[in-house]
Amino acid sequence: MDGQTLKTLIAIFLAAILTENYVLNKFLGICPFLGVSKKLDTAFGMSCAVTVVMVIATAVTWPLYTYLLVPQGLGYLQTIVFILVIAALVQLLETVLRKYMPPLYSALGIYLPLITTNCAVLGVTMLVLEKGAADPSFGYLQSLVNSFGSGIGFLVAMILFAGVRERLEDCDIPETFQGLPITLVAASLVAVSFLGFNGLVDRLM
């Protein structure tokens, strides 16, 4: 691997975390973002599970799309096929983890079923294909790095937001804003702060 490729991969990785954050820029995967971010440790467990699933899902759907669906002219089937494959894959992963890695299963296992049809996971697998179509040099390896970065980006967003929410717990919030309203306001502010990263990765390239 030459230096230029490595540099591109790092740029893709950073872009996936900061400027193309799935939660805070693309607003995908908001359900776990709001649902599981009450506590720091559950947020961490959930994000790790999302990262693992994103990478594995991309690793399987990319070749499936490129070598099976496209040659048959069935690109339009990608949504339905991807959902099918990802759901099966996550179930399989859960079974394997439960058998061979019980500690990891108890850490991730309970979050795995929740993300079988998560839109962030589906979004990653479909958007890397879109990128690949726009730029031929964006191949399998780049897609994997992108999905790994997206998972880490999800983790960063979750951890940040869990921290914010733990602080909110101690605040004197007006009654009408308690619960979900103040959480949504806080989420939008965190998203706005991520806009500050715009253009950062372009300079790296």
Q: Under 8 Å CB-to-CB from 79, ≥6 apart: which residues?
A: 122, 126
Residues 70-89 that bind another protein (CB under 8 A): 72, 74, 77, 80-81, 84-85, 87-88
Q: How far is Cα 119 from Cα 57, in angstroms, rounded to an integer?
A: 12
Choose the binding region for another protein from 22-30, 93-101, 149-157, 160-168 (rule: CB under 8 A).
93-101
111 lies in the binding site for another protein (CB under 8 A)? yes
Nearer to another protein, 9 or 87 (CB): 87
Of 94, 107, 101, 119, the C-alpha closest to 32 is 119
Contact 146, 34 (CB under 8 A): no
Q: Which residues contact 99 (CB under 8 A, 6 or more apart)?
A: none
Q: Does 171 bind another protein (CB under 8 A)?
A: no
Stretch of 92-100, 156-164, 171-179, 195-203 contacting another protein, by CB under 8 A: 92-100
Q: Which of 11, 30, 44, 98 binds another protein (CB under 8 A)?
A: 98
Q: According to the binding rule CB under 8 A, does residue 96 interact with another protein?
A: yes
Q: Give 106-109 contacts, CB < 8 A, sequence gap 24+.
A: 107/45, 107/48, 108/45, 108/48, 108/49, 108/52
Which residues from 179-198 bind another protein, rule CB under 8 A? none
Interface with another protein, residue 42, by CB under 8 A: yes
Instruction: List the structure tokens of 26.
Output: 């693309």
Give the binding site for another protein (CB under 8 A): 35-36, 38, 42, 46, 68-69, 72, 74, 77, 80-81, 84-85, 87-88, 91-92, 95-96, 98-100, 102, 110-111, 113-114
